[in-house]
Amino acid sequence: MSDIVSNSKARRDYHILEVIEAGICLRGTEIKSLRDGRAQINDAFARIDNGEVYLYNAHIDEYSKGSWTNHDPKVPRKLLLNKSEIRRLQGFLSQKGNALIPLSLYWKNRKVKVALALAKGKVEYDKREDIRERESERMLRRITMHKFKNNER
């Protein structure tokens, strides 16, 4: 499995509770554009409409060698999930603060798949806490490496 594109903002802005794999309905020019790696899902989200899951704000560039058959870059794209999975997602999304966020688009058995995250939005103080933890881990690594280098001499 190789990533086509990943969502860099997802893990920073959301607590990831669970990851689900879903198929995606694409046209031929969209697939060709994805093969060139010309997509962006940083602002994308998924929503359930009429019992089906759709991916919104995923930007797949028009295929450069396409003609009148080219696709619209920002059109909502249908995600392929079982009815039981959709019902479970509806229950999850009915709670306040929960969201369905795409983490990445990737190839699997010559098909494009979406890694969807069941996520809960972070508040500003959660983000600051994550930054503090990262910096303290960095400092610990720096101190241990410094001691390790001094012991070798």
CATH number for the domain that contains residue 36: 2.40.280.10
Q: How open is the CA angle 55-58-61, to the nearest 5 degrees? A: 140
| Tens of pLDDT, residues 65-95 | 766 777 767 789 999 999 999 999 998 888 8
- Residues 58, 70, single domain; the answer is yes
- Domain span at residue 32? 2-122
Q: Could you give phi then psi for residue 46, rounded to 5 degrees? A: -115, 150
| Tens of pLDDT, residues 36-75 | 888 888 888 999 998 899 999 988 888 777 667 777 677 8
Which regions of 70-136 does DSSP assign to beta strands (E)? 77-80, 98-108, 111-121
| 119, 10 Cβ separation under 8 angstroms | yes
- Residues 146, 108, single domain; the answer is no
Q: Say if residue 12's pLDDT is above 70.
A: yes
Q: DSSP class of residue 82?
A: -
Please provide the average confidence, as pLDDT, over all residues in the chain. Answer: 85
- Residue type for 111, please? K
- Predicted TM-score (pTM) of this structure: 0.75
